[in-house]
Structure 1
């Protein structure tokens, strides 16, 4: 029953429950995938290039003489670059992931009544759904190597090895052919073996979210792209452009090329197919307003009552659970994502 006096807590925060490390890049040979000593860390290099004018011109600059003059002025750039060695045809990307319990228990909440109602609601959800659907989707995004981003595009072969570590040693492991799994949907793989492995990994994910066991995963992807080919670490955002002399700066950890943990987390939580218009774009990262920066669009608009805050307030304050089960999964996925969701003031 809804409590007419209940209001959203002004202080309300949740810690993320999927906690990836940064991913590091190594180079080696496809045939040496089982030989851990055969992989060398990839560093970041620089190159200077001479570009040509290619930007859209203003009307006043479209005079042929002005354009010819602009072309004669070189566009000199220094950029970071990461490549495989010319004796290596495969990129290895490796990171770890912790799956934490406690979804629905805020790390900060200044209203005891609201906290109690929130935890009761989440407990009812867990009793019915047990995180099974979300766990399946998170596991699928690890297995299909969505988190490789541009490094997955055009690869000849992509193999993902996932190990459940207990006391620092693999207690179980699963190997997936990432290119056999779709990025557009979360249906079961065609291969019976892949279905069984994905089912086991999903069960482990769900158990970790429910707090039934400690879940620490080691994830490695082997991406066969060709000798000497360019690879794509995260690109750094340089806030003070006056301090840098490079037009592109790549991320590294102690000299080893890598992908930001935030970028990995974005890929793993790309499980939302319940938003309006999902058939066109496919899964997007779970965000309170369904924001997709590459599209410049928010797919979960408050006017459509599809955003996280509207769904959460109706569920907690008014006792009205989202009619669509998918929206219930979405609300829980945002809480797993974590963030600060207190009443605006």
Structure 2
């Protein structure tokens, strides 16, 4: 066991779930072979003033009318299916890597040894079965569609293993699976087989699994679809107020957004069972950060954050529950730089 004060100042782990960007196509539900890449369209629109106004303006009808009369001109990107298309096709690949027990960088031999013992102990006991099942569920339920999942009439997901000599394909009806419940799918042989392949790759020292994911979403003829939105750092000088992501003029989703959906498996944080406080499953993060809610669900003050668990567990101490170990290993699968400053 490493000494209590022995913590690596340089400590990094490479991510083990590596998605590509996702590419968007338009097609017809009954004729999926005939698909075309979706392009972005630019719109110039005149909106109304709808933001909160100062009290002096709110309470003065004349000032309010003058403010409302101002044109709110915007140029935005949009993306939609063609007039003869009713189905969105999303295509991306996912590489699952092994080697979690080996940091990509660690400058303390004693700490590295104690961490490797802890990681190999987890792998021998749990074999990544629980994490793999949750990752597989997030593929099967098409969580990676984000807003495109809402209001869809049908969603089919095809997951194919491309490893030479071990090719395999699984098909799922995404609407058969909830995005809020991981206690499901235990009687689904396709889901179990996919989870086993993911678990085997994660548990290995240097093997990998290459998955190809094709998802069809019956969204409605000519309906708007939602690629990733680019971050506009300087809205005052930019020509557009909304810029969507594209690759070679083709609408796409960021690999980071797909990865965030796949690692949205944390149901072990303290507020999950509290109906009023729960945000449902959240993405695995060191502090349980959910930026859309402006909240961290795993705070060091409550000793539920990654670093509190990891610093103890990696030195050879046991955690209070296997769920805490699942969480720690899920953060390591996510990857990151976790060294402690020696200043």
* TM-score bucket (shorter structure): over 0.9
The structure 1 residue matched to 2:180, chosen from 184, 190, 200, is: 184
Structure 2 residue 41 is the aligned partner of structure 1 residue 23: no
TM-superposed CA distance for 1:6, in Å, is: 4.7
Gaps of 5+ in 2: none
Equivalence for 2:106: 109
The structure 2 residue matched to 1:52, chosen from 48, 55, 58, is: 48
Quick one: structure 1 residues 170 and 82, their matched pair in 2 at CA, closer, same or farther if it must change by over 3 Å?
Answer: farther
What RMSD, in angstroms, separates the aligned Cα atoms of the two structures? 1.5
Structure 2 residue 190 is the aligned partner of structure 1 residue 197: yes
The structure 1 residue matched to 2:338, chosen from 331, 337, 341, is: 341
CA distance in structure 1 between the partners assigned to 2:53 and 2:5 by the alignment: 57
Structure 2 residue 244 is the aligned partner of structure 1 residue 250: yes
Q: Per the alignment, in what secondary structure is the counterpart of residue 167 of structure 2? A: strand
TM-superposed CA distance for 1:214, in Å, is: 3.1
Q: How does 1:283-322 map to 2 (within 5 A)?
A: 283-317=281-315, 319-322=316-319
TM-superposed CA distance for 1:14, in Å, is: 0.6
TM-superposed CA distance for 1:163, in Å, is: 0.5
Count residues in correspondence. Answer: 336
Equivalence for 1:133: 130
Q: Is the 8 A contact 2:2 2:110 kept in 1?
A: no
Gaps of 5+ in 1: none
CA distance in structure 1 between the partners assigned to 2:80 and 2:9 by the alignment: 49
Q: Is the 8 A contact 1:84 1:91 kept in 2?
A: yes
State the Cα deviation string for residues 45-86 of structure 1 (Å, max 9, x = none): 111111001111111211110110011111010000000001
TM-superposed CA distance for 1:5, in Å, is: 5.1
The structure 2 residue matched to 1:216, chosen from 205, 210, 214, is: 210
Equivalence for 2:116: 119
Q: Is the 8 A contact 1:104 1:335 kept in 2?
A: no
Q: Per the alignment, in what secondary structure is the counterpart of residue 83 of structure 1? A: coil
Q: Is the 8 A contact 1:43 1:82 kept in 2?
A: yes
Q: TM-score, normalised by structure 2?
A: 0.95
Q: Is the 8 A contact 2:157 2:215 kept in 1?
A: yes
CA distance in structure 1 between the partners assigned to 2:178 and 2:54 by the alignment: 43
Equivalence for 1:14: 13
Q: Per the alignment, in what secondary structure is the counterpart of residue 282 of structure 2? A: coil
CA distance in structure 2 between the partners assigned to 1:104 and 1:298 by the alignment: 27
TM-superposed CA distance for 1:314, in Å, is: 1.3
Q: Per the alignment, in what secondary structure is the counterpart of residue 197 of structure 2? A: helix
Q: Is the 8 A contact 1:6 1:114 kept in 2?
A: no
TM-superposed CA distance for 1:261, in Å, is: 0.2
